[in-house]
Amino acid sequence: MAALFALLSISIFLGAKSATFRVTNNCQYTTWPGMLSNAGVAPLATTGFQLQPGETRAIDVPPSWSGRVWARSLCTSDPTSGRFSCATGDCGSGAIECGGGGAAPPVTLVEFTLNGAGNNDFYDVSLVDGYNIPLVVFPQGGSGPNCVPTGCVAELNEQCPEGLKVVSGRQTVACKSACEAFNDPKYCCSGAYGNPNTCRPTSYSQFFKNACPRAYSYAYDDATSTFTCAAGKAEYLLSFCPSTSSLRQSSENNPQAAGVPLINYTMTFSGNGYSTHYLPSYPFNIFFSLALSWLSTFL
- Binding residues vs ligand NAG (CB under 6 A): 210, 213, 260-261, 264, 266-267, 270
Strand ranges in 78-119 using DSSP code E only, listed in sequence order: 84-88, 109-116
CB nearer to ligand NAG: give 95 or 260: 260
**Which of 40, 113, 114, 102 lies closest to 70, judged by CA?**
102
Q: Yes or no: say if 23 and 52 are a contact pair by the CB < 8 Å rule.
A: no
CA distances from 122 to 96, 115, 146 (A): 27, 8, 10
**Shortest distance in whole angstroms from residue 190 CB to ligand NAG:** 26
**Shortest distance in whole angstroms from residue 152 CB to ligand NAG:** 12
CB nearer to ligand NAG: give 194 or 201: 201
CB nearer to ligand NAG: give 37 or 108: 108
**Which of 71, 65, 68 lies closest to 50, judged by CA?**
71
CB nearer to ligand NAG: give 41 or 260: 260
CB nearer to ligand NAG: give 177 or 217: 217
CB nearer to ligand NAG: give 249 or 266: 266
**Shortest distance in whole angstroms from residue 290 CB to ligand NAG:** 12
Give the strands of the sheet with 235-240, arranged side by side.
Answer: 56-61, 19-25, 235-240, 135-140, 150-152
**Shortest distance in whole angstroms from residue 91 CB to ligand NAG:** 31
**Shortest distance in whole angstroms from residue 255 CB to ligand NAG:** 7
CB nearer to ligand NAG: give 65 or 287: 287
**Which of 94, 186, 108, 196 lies closest to 152, judged by CA?**
108
**Shortest distance in whole angstroms from residue 184 CB to ligand NAG:** 24
Long-range Cβ contacts of 12-19 (<8 Å, 24+ apart): 16/63, 16/64, 16/115, 16/232, 17/63, 17/232, 18/60, 18/61, 18/62, 18/63, 19/60, 19/61, 19/62, 19/63, 19/65, 19/114, 19/121, 19/232, 19/234, 19/235, 19/236
Reading phi first (left if > 0) and then psi (alpha if -120 to 50, else beta), residue 241 is in: left
**Which of 75, 104, 110 lies closest to 180, judged by CA?**
104
First CA to last CA across the chain, in angstroms?
A: 77
CB nearer to ligand NAG: give 161 or 261: 261
